[in-house]
Amino acid sequence: MLGIIIGIAAVIIITSLGNGLQSYMTDAFDSMGTNLITVNVSNRGTRSVNPDDMFELATDNSDVLEAVSPSVTHTGEVTCGSTTTDNTTSITGVSEYYNVMKGYDLTDGRFLSYMDIEGRHKVCVIGTYVANTLFGNKSAVGQTLKIGGNTFTVIGTLAEIGDSSESSSDDCVYIPYSTAQKLSRSGRITSYTFSVTDQHKADQAKTVIENALYEIFKSDDYYTVISLSEMLDIINTMMDMVITVLSAIAAISLAVGGVGIMNIMLVSVTERTREIGIRKSLGAKRRNILTQFVIEAMTISALGGILGMITGVMISYPVGNLFDITAVPKASTIALAFSISVAIGVLFGYLPASRASKLNPIDALRHD
């Protein structure tokens, strides 16, 4: 019975942790934006793209593409008076669509506008970590901060995205991409982020972008198009495989449990040979004996199954917490594991029971 309990519990723990891990990863990807497609290009002379080309591409394919934002990474210290954030703060030049694409909310002020980008205004929107570090409890909007010697006016603060800690998604400053481009003197913009109208159309959108870029560059060596949802699909497939393999291992422990049940039944049949003899002498047919022992085996394994289910579900939560995952026991998995345990009971109970039912009543009665 212990075998069955451990077997069932193992199956349930492994699958619910697997499911938990999968949903954890899905959530992680979702927060990064599975609706986003990242495009990196290397501009070469005439074969190049600029933000206007990309905006046009998005407008022309509005059935799949929702919006686009260039992404210009800027480096520099973010300071306010004598306070400074560490160099971990990411400073990114983006378009006015960026917050909508990423699903960022504002707690105060406004996001960048078209005017800010056109005018290359020195304005910024900051994350909660930056706001807390530089301005404490004061309202940040209207305050100024310095990025590498340039003074920027804070026009908005974002709602918390991560956990407001250093290096998290909240350790960020967003400025107009045009301003960033000018300050970094890098010339051309090499990175863009597209958002798709529907997450399930990500593949289609990716193809549209790839085709457009191929038209311009006449080669696929000069650009990369990465869709997060595509990566998520790949990871999910891998996770499924891992869960399947782990479940197979757990199934082995179930089989071991089955052998355990068979042993219990064999011992029980041997111990109760005399009882079988008595029952047969009183008129029990083979079928009666068989039924009795199969039902007993089923009861044992069902009981083991139930205990295993309870143990499995109870253990999977604390173990999940240990890894920072919320365990997700699925009803279907539990039902399957339970049916398997009962099936094992019937199968492995049948063999010794069948042997018991064929015992000669006289030999059985003489057995001590």
Partner 1 sequence: MIELRNLYKIYGSGENEVRALDGINLTINKGEFVAIVGQSGSGKSTCMNIIGCLDVPTSGQYILEGIDVSTMHDDRLSEIRNKKLGFIFQQYNLIQGISILENVELPLLYAGLSKAERKEKAMKALARVGIQAKAKNFPSQLSGGQQQRVSIARALAGNPSVILADEPTGALDSKTGKEVLRFLQELHSEGNTIVLITHDNSIARKAKRIVRLSDGKIIYDGPSDDPNAVVSADESGVNG
Question: Which two structure tokens, joined as six digits, stand for 143?
Answer: 């305050």
Draw the binding track, 238-277, toward partner 1 (x: CB under 8 A; -: no contact). ------------------------------------xx-x
Stretch that binds partner 1, among 195-203, 213-221, 237-245, 278-286 (CB under 8 A): 278-286
DSSP string, 98-166: HHHHHT--EEEE----HHHHHTT--EEEE-HHHHHHHHTTS--TT-EEEETTEEEEEEEEEPPSS-S-T
Binding residue for partner 1, selected from 9, 178, 280, 297, defined by CB under 8 A: 280
Stretch that binds partner 1, among 49-57, 66-74, 324-332, 358-366 (CB under 8 A): 358-366
Stretch that binds partner 1, among 15-23, 210-218, 226-234, 283-291 (CB under 8 A): 283-291
Binding residue for partner 1, selected from 94, 279, 301, 320, defined by CB under 8 A: 279
Q: Rank residues 76 and 361 by Cβ distance to partner 1 and give the closer one.
A: 361
Nearest distance, CB of residue 350 and partner 1, angstroms: 18
Stretch that binds partner 1, among 120-128, 145-153, 284-292, 294-302 (CB under 8 A): 284-292
Nearest distance, CB of residue 348 and partner 1, angstroms: 22
Residues with Cβ within 8 Å of residue 64, at least 6 apart in sequence: 196, 197, 198, 201, 204, 205, 208
Q: d(Cα 190, Cα 174) in Å, to the nearest integer?
A: 17
Binding residue for partner 1, selected from 38, 107, 199, 288, defined by CB under 8 A: 288
Nearest distance, CB of residue 285 and partner 1, angstroms: 5
**Which residues share a beta bridge with 39?**
192, 225
Does 361 participate in binding partner 1 (rule CB under 8 A)?
yes
Stretch that binds partner 1, among 35-43, 113-121, 169-177, 285-293 (CB under 8 A): 285-293
Q: Rank residues 80 and 365 by Cβ distance to partner 1 and give the closer one.
A: 365
Does 358 participate in binding partner 1 (rule CB under 8 A)?
yes
Q: At what angle do helices 273-281 and 286-322 cross, to 10 degrees?
A: 140
C-alpha 134 chain-centroid distance: 34
E-assigned strand segments in the chain: 36-41, 65-70, 72-74, 78-80, 83-84, 90-94, 106-109, 123-126, 144-147, 150-158, 172-176, 191-196, 223-227
Which residue's entry shows tokens 């920072």?
A: 324
- Read off φ and ψ for residue 159, nearest 5 degrees: -70, 160
Binding residue for partner 1, selected from 52, 149, 151, 282, defined by CB under 8 A: 282
Does 281 participate in binding partner 1 (rule CB under 8 A)?
yes
Residues with Cβ within 8 Å of residue 158, at least 6 apart in sequence: 99, 104, 105, 106, 107, 125, 126, 127, 128, 170, 172
Stretch that binds partner 1, among 4-12, 116-124, 263-271, 354-362 (CB under 8 A): 354-362
Binding residue for partner 1, selected from 2, 32, 252, 362, defined by CB under 8 A: 362
Residues with Cβ within 8 Å of residue 88, at least 6 apart in sequence: 166, 167, 171
- Read off φ and ψ for residue 175, nearest 5 degrees: -130, 165
Does 283 participate in binding partner 1 (rule CB under 8 A)?
yes
Binding residue for partner 1, selected from 44, 218, 285, 330, defined by CB under 8 A: 285
Binding residue for partner 1, selected from 188, 286, 355, 367, defined by CB under 8 A: 286
Q: Which residues bind partner 1 (CB under 8 A)?
A: 274-275, 277-288, 358, 360-362, 365
